Amino acid sequence: MAKRIEASNVSSYYGSFKAIDSVSMVVEPKTITALIGPSGCGKSTFLRSINRMHEVLPNARIEGSLTIDDQNIYDPDVDVTAVRRLIGMVFQRPNPFPTMSIYENVVAGLKLNGVKKKSVLDDAAEQSLKSANLWNEVKDRLGRPGAGLSGGQQQRLCIARTIAVEPQVVLMDEPCSALDPISTLAIEDLMFKLKDRFTIIIVTHNMQQAARVSDKTGFFSIDKTGDPGRLIEYDDTQKIFSNPTEKKTEDYITGRFG
Amino acid sequence: MSLLERESSGVVMTTDNIRSQKLHVGLNIGIAAAALVVGLALAYGFGIGNYVLGVVLGVVIYLIGLQIVAGRIEGRRAARDRMWKTLIYAACVLAILPLASVVWTLISKGAGRLDGNFFGSSMNNIGARDPEGGAYHAIIGTLEQVGIATLMAVPLGVLGAIYLVEYGRGKFATTVRFFVDVMTGIPSIVAGLFILSFWVLIVSPWFNNGTPRFSGFAASLALTVLMLPTIVRSTEEMLRLVPGPLREGAYALGVPQWKTILKVVVPTALPGIVTGIMLAVARAAGETAPVLLVAGGAAAINFDPFAGGQQSLSLFVYQQAGDASRYAPARAWTAALTLVAIVLVLTVAAKLLARRNSLSK
């Protein structure tokens, strides 16, 4: 199920502004990869390039190639919607659909893609909510609005919504930045559980989190404001946090910079 | 001594002065009563006006008196705060007064003809000496014309707004947006003249053996022209309020754009869109000039909006108000009351419907 992702020389632009400069990396299936680096260095832009969410913004474009199991998702004949079905995404701020109940939020991806059978939807909702560690908290109020949950619950609801469509890769853009430590821990536990089924790439500002959850870590940085972000170092998490090759990486993770 | 204390006179920052005296409510009412008495005395005493001027003077004197007395008791800042608050309340009352007055006038004068005859008959064969006669034909006309106009304007307007917000990029969208803005300011009589010269004089002869004719449908067309820009603009604003991350959330689930718009964006903005549509409907229901120009108004009942002149409530009000018959003004008032009631019922119904779809029940 889970897929291998290979980025080669990916550069992303906002209009004439180059946000990231030729990033190349390989993400193996069923691993968690963390992307770290100072604000504005292009981690999120790179993440959004992986499921073609980057181009939703006006004038945004991309160069280079991004393959998922040797299929270049930026080929002209590729259907964007199909790509996004394969590669799900969890955003920085929880964004449950305000007009839908908890149940409708979880099955939104299935329902809007044409699944109609109630029994299938019910099953999927329960399974996804259980995977997202949310089932016990909401099973008695599935008909209530999704926006009425607490921030941490909403984020887990969004994760349940994402995994309900069973994508092969899950991208997470600082999923815990708005959450308290307990909710953060719940989501980290969840990521370990999901690792068996999905390839996960997570952007985080929390270095302990990167060290705790990820197998591999990529460090992004910029030289100065206005320059494009670059991938400085990409290696096993163990190595990055104990014995990084690059001086810049060491400065960042030890807190001397950024 | 802090910087604030040094530079701003009147600021004292110690723990001893965080309490202050409050103006007693009784004293407040006393000032108000005294101000009213003084105001009335001035107005009548000098013979410069009646009770209206007295009350106005009273309010002004009350505000000044309040400022002085409260300033003595509470201090300058608190007194100024109190005076502005009172002014804001006064402005609010002033804004509601005309509205309440309109409703009261409508009900008191319109209740006289609120009978079965008014709602059950038309003005056909009603002479100047007949006290009967009603607005049945006008109610039919208003409902049909506004209904047809809504059926045409709502899909066009909402789809146009969706294009502008979700798809429109570049010159074409900018041009459309500009012309929608311009159209918002079109006087209703111009819309009526446009339909008169275009539809009634050029197009309608094709369907009527070469003779131009008035119709309720022509009135609907004119109302559509008036409703479109309002609906497009309000829907556009509402769609823009839907946060981008909601759309991205749906895209990330592999939902196509059109389905995202249909199932996520529009439902989120629905209550606001409905409010905009109801504003447009209310405006259309109250338009007189276009109906006069292209539907002509008729004394008899005409159910067919496509053939022959048709009446509408606002036009009926206009005609009855200018009629020489002593029974006409009463009909005009009742028709006006009916029109307001219809718009009110439609608005409330639409709001309830829009709310049922979301989860806020």
Please compute the mean of the pLDDT values over residues B173-193 and round it to a whole number: 92
Q: Are A55 and A18 in contact (CB under 8 A)?
A: no
Distance from CA of B163 to the nearest CA of A (A): 15
Matching CATH number, B131-357, of 3.40.50.850, 2.10.109.10, 3.50.50.60, 1.10.3720.10: 1.10.3720.10
What residues contact residue B305 under an 8 Å CB cut-off, 6+ apart? B144, B145, B148, B215, B216, B217, B220
Q: Are B49 and B43 in contact (CB under 8 A)?
A: yes
Look at strands A5-14 and A87-90 and give their pairing: unpaired
A102 in any annotated domain: no
Please compute the mean of the pLDDT values over residues A122-143 and round it to a whole number: 90
Among candidates A47, A52, A58, A133, which has minimal Cα distance to A92? A47
Q: What is the mean pLDDT of chain A?
A: 89
Whose tokens are 């701020």? That residue is A93
- Quick: pLDDT tens for B95-123: 999 999 999 999 999 988 888 888 988 88
Can you tell me whether residue A248 is helix, strand or coil? helix
Q: Which of A49, A95, A101, A115 to mutate to test the interface with B (most CBs of B within 10 A)?
A: A95
- Does A24 contact chain B (CB < 8 Å)? no
CB-defined contacts A:B, below 8 A: 83
Q: Which residue in the set B169, B254, B359 is minimally distant from A58, CB to CB?
A: B169
Domain count, chain A: 1
pLDDT for the residue numbered B193? 95
pLDDT for the residue numbered B361? 42
- Quick: pLDDT tens for A17-31: 889 988 999 999 999
d(CA A17, CA A15): 6
For the cut 80, the answer to whether the pLDDT of residue B356 exceeds it is no
Q: Are B69 and B26 in contact (CB under 8 A)?
A: no
Asked if the Cβ–Cβ distance from B247 to A56 is below 8 Å, we say yes
- Quick: pLDDT tens for B139-150: 999 999 999 999
Name the pLDDT band for B66 (thresholds 50, 70, 90): confident
- Does A212 contact chain B (CB < 8 Å)? no
Instruction: A247-256: list long-range contacts, CB under 8 Å, 24+ apart.
Output: A248/A219, A248/A221, A249/A219, A252/A36, A252/A37, A252/A38, A252/A219, A252/A221, A253/A36, A253/A207, A253/A219
Among candidates A95, A235, A253, which has minimal Cα distance to A175? A95
Asked if the Cβ–Cβ distance from B250 to A91 is below 8 Å, we say no
Structural domain boundaries, residue A178: 5-96+167-253
pLDDT for the residue numbered A254? 84
Asked if the Cβ–Cβ distance from A144 to B253 is below 8 Å, we say no
**Considering only CB atoms, which residues of chain B are within 8 Å of chain A?**
169, 243-256, 259-260, 263-264, 267-268, 270, 357-360
Q: Which of B253, B266, B361 to mutate to test the interface with A (most CBs of A within 10 A)?
A: B253
A101 in any annotated domain: no
pLDDT for the residue numbered A255? 79
Asked if the Cβ–Cβ distance from B267 to A112 is below 8 Å, we say no
Question: Domain locations in chain B?
Answer: 3-111, 131-357
For the cut 50, the answer to whether the pLDDT of residue B357 exceeds it is yes
- Quick: pLDDT tens for B20-59: 778 888 888 999 999 999 999 988 888 888 888 888 899 8
**Which residues from chain A sit within 8 angstroms of residue B246, using beta carbons?**
95, 97-98
For the cut 90, the answer to whether the pLDDT of residue A184 exceeds it is no
CATH number where A36 lies? 3.40.50.300
Among candidates B248, B317, B320, which has minimal Cα distance to B288? B317
Q: Are A87 and A51 in contact (CB under 8 A)?
A: yes
d(CA B218, CA B210): 17
Neighbour order of strands in the sheet with A60-68:
A17-27, A5-14, A60-68, A71-72
pLDDT for the residue numbered A111? 92
Look at strands A216-221 and A230-236 and give their pairing: antiparallel
Cα B63 to Cα B21, B78, B87, distances in angstroms: 19, 14, 8
Q: What is the mean pLDDT of chain B?
A: 89
Asked if the Cβ–Cβ distance from A113 to B253 is below 8 Å, we say yes
Asked if the Cβ–Cβ distance from B248 to A91 is below 8 Å, we say yes
Partners of A171 in the beta sheet?
A: A89, A201
Q: Is the sign of the CA dihedral B90, B92, B98, B104 positive or negative?
A: negative
pLDDT for the residue numbered B358? 53
pLDDT for the residue numbered B359? 57
d(CA A195, CA A168): 11
Asked if the Cβ–Cβ distance from B253 to A56 is below 8 Å, we say no
A155 in any annotated domain: no
Partners of A33 in the beta sheet?
A: A201, A216
Cα A60 to Cα A12, A20, B27, B164, B215, distances in angstroms: 7, 12, 66, 19, 52
pLDDT for the residue numbered A15? 87
**Which residues from chain B sit within 8 angstroms of residue A167, using beta carbons?**
254
